[in-house]
Structure 1
Amino acid sequence: MATGCISLTLPLPKVEVPLPLFTSTRTKIPTSTLPSISNLSRFRPNGFVVCSISSDRSTLGNQIQDKSNPLPQVQSCTWNWRGYSIRYQCSGSDGPALVLVHGFGANSDHWRKNIPVLAKSHRVYAIDLIGYGYSDKPNPRDVGDSFYTFETWASQLNDFCRNVIKDEAFFICNSIGGVVGLQAAVTEPQICKGILLLNISLRMLHITKQPWFGRPFIASFQNLLRSTAVGKLFFKSVATPESVRSILCQCYHDTSQVTDELVQIILDPGLQPGAVDVFLEFICYSGGPLPEELLPQVKCPVLIGWGNKDPWEIIELGRAYGNFDTVEDFVVLPNVGHCPQDEAPHLVNPLVESFVARHAKSPATSSTTI
């Protein structure tokens, strides 16, 4: 346990299985050690292209960035979507387009260890879903109960590919971002060339996964959070550095990766106006699609990667997703928690590269208008 981390242990079963670097149910994915990348400093967008950040001055783990082969710069940009300001980050000028989609409570900074590495041979984009990060956070009472849904985020993702990237793209998704990616691929299959799901949310709080006798109580509790001061008090207790660190120490197996920088990356956008209402709206969102409903409808190849030490999305339940015909492989990421892209980029980055290489038209796919 890293210094300063507070353990919040859940009574969940652990499955201890000796594993190689990757354990694959079907094919072997080649792996390699990639050069380290920098920790990008946090910044807020004020214009279309706000700034470029050099990626040659800091370290990842114990690896030192090769000064003779610097990583591409990363730009923070804003995009006007339906009148709302959307923050995204981008890097790289050649190769297939990748869109990195974050999970609940996170933002595009959660991909800071992946963007510049992948940008060496890809055009990489990481987006803040509306309501999260430094994108706008319209009040749910003003936009309606059906706004913060997977259908809305899927539309945002597809419009981003159409209007900003102007090309087909691979979706690389973590947690609830995986449901967003699947919904987007089902809605407009001509846009998505492939999806890599990292510890996709099982959506165990979905209303259909609750016992019938408990559903009225769940609805009442959700109404309490939304309509009274209880919800805001709950959020206030969560939106502190100590609480964020505790939560991260729970879902990261290697708690040394829970740094002060990471805590601020997650916490700061949550302190912006409107964040509390979006937070409460989503934790009360128990409808919408399930991964097991979307996977059979997807037309593009799907690869699943799963950290086997995830206390929230248990791998033994997630393995069932590997049985769908659309899923080409289920790759176990050993000794990794819920956010593999940040906790173990040395495993995730090669996985992304090999998946994209198998399904791209060429190593440097030219841009195609969609």
Structure 2
Amino acid sequence: MNIRRRNNVTVTGRAEGPVLLLAHGFGCDQNMWRLVVPALAKDHRVVQFDYVGSGRSESAAWNEQRYSSLEGYALDVVEICDDLDLRDVIFVGHSVSAMVGVLAAAKAPQRFSGLVMVAPSPRYIDDDGYRGGFSADDIDELLESLESNYLGWSAAMAPVIMGNADRPELGEELTASFCATDPDMARVFARTTFQSDSRDDLKTVQVPTLVLECRQDVIAPREVGAFVHAAIPGSRLVTLEATGHCPQLSAPEATTAAITDFIGAAR
């Protein structure tokens, strides 16, 4: 199988620069990074891709069994790294992809030298002593709504996820991204995402890690950022002066600055 075509892999930036592997979240594709890539590409080799079922990936490669767990998405990441023979990779994962990066680094530790977790959440459902932001009933209702009317769910939820109500164009962009995703594949990815519990996997992280959170985020509240930071010894927690769940779109300059500062300090 042609991995690069399967995942619509694109490579930009300095050929000999440190490697940044950018991974999008649920309902998105690599286009979500477009506002931070130009600045990052000045000093880094930037690799982007689409998960199977998203963006311009090969939908024929989609397999429900594989993509019904985050392990399947992590395997995609490892296969991309193997195919391009990427080493010393700093994985930049947005939302659920932050945890995909944790799993990928555990699968192929020789490939990775750092993690940047943008608005991460290891578990979305509240638990004893843990606040994920949603009750089990909330998630059941969310998934039922998504599965019964995906386009309607997208139109209603994307602006809420994006936040920044004073900038409606951001919510409209995320809505368009959600709506461009195949509904059947999106339903599987959504269930995989919102029912995941990767808290124990945080203990496996052995590389320098940056946890990036927004000061207000309905999907990943501040308590989640604090939990991830505490669970990964030596990690750095940065709270961006940004709202919503997609700071790479709503606050690209601050997001870029935090990433480059982290890379500079780590090296």
TM-score class, shorter-chain normalisation, is 0.7 to 0.9
Provide the aligned C-alpha RMSD in A.
3.4
What do the CA deviations read for 1:72-120 (whole angstroms, capped 9, x no partner)?
A: xxxxxxx9239x7221332112310000111111110000001111000
Equivalent pair of 1:307/1:333 in contact (CA under 8 Å): yes
Question: What is the SS of the residue equivalent to 2:258?
Answer: helix
Equivalent pair of 2:159/2:172 in contact (CA under 8 Å): no
| Match of residue 180 from structure 2 | 269
1:117 aligns with 2:39: yes
| Match of residue 237 from structure 1 | 152
Count of aligned pairs:
261
Q: After the TM superposition, which segments of 4 or more aligned residues of structure 1 sit over 6 Å from their partners?
A: 206-210, 217-222
What do the CA deviations read for 1:20-73 (whole angstroms, capped 9, x no partner)?
A: xxxxxxxxxxxxxxxxxxxxxxxxxxxxxxxxxxxxxxxxxxxxxxxxxxxxxx
1:318 aligns with 2:240: no
Once residues 53 and 168 of structure 2 are traced to their aligned partners in structure 1, the CA distance between those partners, rounded to angstroms, is 26
What do the CA deviations read for 1:121-173 (whole angstroms, capped 9, x no partner)?
A: 00001211112121123587xx3434332111111111111212533310011
| Match of residue 166 from structure 1 | 86
**Which region of structure 1 is more displaced relative to structure 2, 253-262 or 87-96?**
253-262
What do the CA deviations read for 1:221-249 (whole angstroms, capped 9, x no partner)?
A: 89x95xxxx8654113235xxx16x6235
For the structure 1 residues 153 and 350, does the alpha-carbon distance in structure 2 shift closer, same or farther, using more than 3 Å as the test?
same
Once the two structures are TM-superposed, the CA of residue 341 in structure 1 deviates from its matched residue by: 1.3
- Superposition TM-score, scaled by structure 1 size: 0.62
Equivalent pair of 2:95/2:121 in contact (CA under 8 Å): yes
Query: Residue 295 of structure 1: which of 183, 187, 202 is its match?
Result: 202
| Match of residue 238 from structure 2 | 331
For the structure 1 residues 348 and 231, does the alpha-carbon distance in structure 2 shift closer, same or farther, using more than 3 Å as the test?
closer
Equivalent pair of 1:189/1:298 in contact (CA under 8 Å): no
| Match of residue 45 from structure 1 | none
Q: Unaligned regions of 5+ residues in structure 1, if any?
A: 1-78, 361-370
Q: Unaligned regions of 5+ residues in structure 2, if any?
A: none
Equivalent residues in 2 for 1:334-345 (5 A)? 334-345=241-252
Equivalent residues in 2 for 1:36-75 (5 A)? none
For the structure 1 residues 281 and 261, does the alpha-carbon distance in structure 2 shift closer, same or farther, using more than 3 Å as the test?
closer
Once the two structures are TM-superposed, the CA of residue 179 in structure 1 deviates from its matched residue by: 0.9
Equivalent residues in 2 for 1:8-157 (5 A)? 80-81=2-3, 85-92=6-13, 93-138=15-60, 143-157=63-77
| Match of residue 167 from structure 2 | 256
AA aligned opposite 1:103 = G
AA aligned opposite 1:309 = Q
Identity %: 23
Query: Residue 109 of structure 2: which of 186, 189, 200 is its match?
Result: 189
Once residues 311 and 108 of structure 1 are traced to their aligned partners in structure 2, the CA distance between those partners, rounded to angstroms, is 22
For the structure 1 residues 280 and 264, does the alpha-carbon distance in structure 2 shift closer, same or farther, using more than 3 Å as the test?
closer
For the structure 1 residues 166 and 146, does the alpha-carbon distance in structure 2 shift closer, same or farther, using more than 3 Å as the test?
closer
Once the two structures are TM-superposed, the CA of residue 346 in structure 1 deviates from its matched residue by: 1.0
AA aligned opposite 1:237 = G
Once residues 120 and 203 of structure 1 are traced to their aligned partners in structure 2, the CA distance between those partners, rounded to angstroms, is 35
Once residues 89 and 255 of structure 1 are traced to their aligned partners in structure 2, the CA distance between those partners, rounded to angstroms, is 33
- Superposition TM-score, scaled by structure 2 size: 0.83
